[in-house]
Every structure is written in C-alpha cells, then in structure tokens.
C-alpha cells in the first residue's frame, strides 16, 4: 500500500521525537500495530480521539495538527506533505495546495504547487 500523507506526517513527527512505534503506542495508549498501520497507509482514518492522543504525545505544532485533521478526511499526496513540512507554509496554504486540481496528465512538481499557492495568497492581500 502506498504511503499516505497522514502516515508520512505521523512517521516524521515520531522520528523527530526519537520514538519507536511501540513507544508511541504505549505513551498514547494506542496499539503499536495500529500506529504502524497508520504510518504505512494500511489504515487511514483514525478516530478524532486516537489522532489527538498521538499528536499530543508527538508534541505536534498547531499547523501539524490542522494538517493531520485535514488528512483524516482528505487524501493528500505524501510528497506534498513532505514538501510543506520543510517550509513555513500555513495549514491553510497546505490545504489549498492539497486540493488543487491540475490540467493535463502530469502533476506539477511540489515547488510549482507551492509557488501557485503563495501567489494566490499574495493576490488575496
């Protein structure tokens, strides 16, 4: 199963905290196999309670919490998630880029999507 955006976000946050999936599961009181399944994309829609417990243990920042909550109900390209984590983009910008539709068969690279999102936000000001 391909990596999901939510799975990638959870894995990255877990790695930043230097926790194993077993440790994260114990601290969040969630079965560690469920954590693994979320990270690998086998499971995709945790309950609000489970997600909140995981994010609390992972000390997720408000932007990351909003991103995770959005991804529970929206399929987001894992490449986009990884790209946004390396920027100062807001959760609102993340959502805009995640929901963009592209003409033609080829999806633009992540930097191009970011540029389009930033342009849209500049135009709103």
pLDDT at 65: 97
Nearest in space to 88 (alpha carbons), one of 51, 61, 57, 50: 61
Structural domains in the chain plus CATH codes: 5-124 (1.10.260.40)
> Please, what are the averages of pLDDT over each run of 10 residues along the chain (125 residues)?
87 96 96 95 92 97 97 93 95 93 77 92 75
* Radius of gyration for the chain, computed over Cα atoms and rounded to the nearest angstrom: 15
Report pTM.
0.90
- What does the pLDDT read at residue 56? 97
What pLDDT score does 74 carry? 93
- pLDDT for residue 92: 96
Joined together, the tokens standing for residue 37 give 């399944």
pLDDT score for 123: 73
* Owner of token pair 């929901």: 99
Q: Cα angle at 51 between 45 and 57, to 5 degrees?
A: 150
Q: What is the 3-state secondary structure (H, E, C) of 7-51?
A: HHHHHHHHHHCCCCHHHHHHHHCCCHHHHHHHHHCCCCCCCHHHH
The helix/strand/coil state of 1 is coil
Q: How far is CA 122 from the centre of its chain?
A: 24
């Amino acid at each position: 199963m391909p990596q999901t955006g939510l799975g990638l976000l959870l894995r990255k946050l877990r790695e930043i905290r230097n926790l194993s999936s077993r440790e994260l599961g114990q601290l969040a009181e969630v079965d560690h196999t469920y954590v693994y399944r979320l990270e690998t994309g086998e499971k995709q829609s945790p309950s609000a309670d489970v997600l909140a417990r995981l994010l609390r243990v992972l000390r997720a920042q408000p932007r990351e919490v909003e991103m995770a909550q959005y991804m529970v109900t929206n399929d987001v390209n894992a490449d986009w998630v990884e790209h946004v984590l390396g920027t100062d983009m807001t959760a609102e910008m993340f959502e805009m880029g995640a929901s963009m539709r592209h003409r033609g068969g080829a999806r633009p690279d992540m930097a191009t999507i970011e540029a389009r999102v930033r342009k849209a936000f500049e135009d709103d000001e």
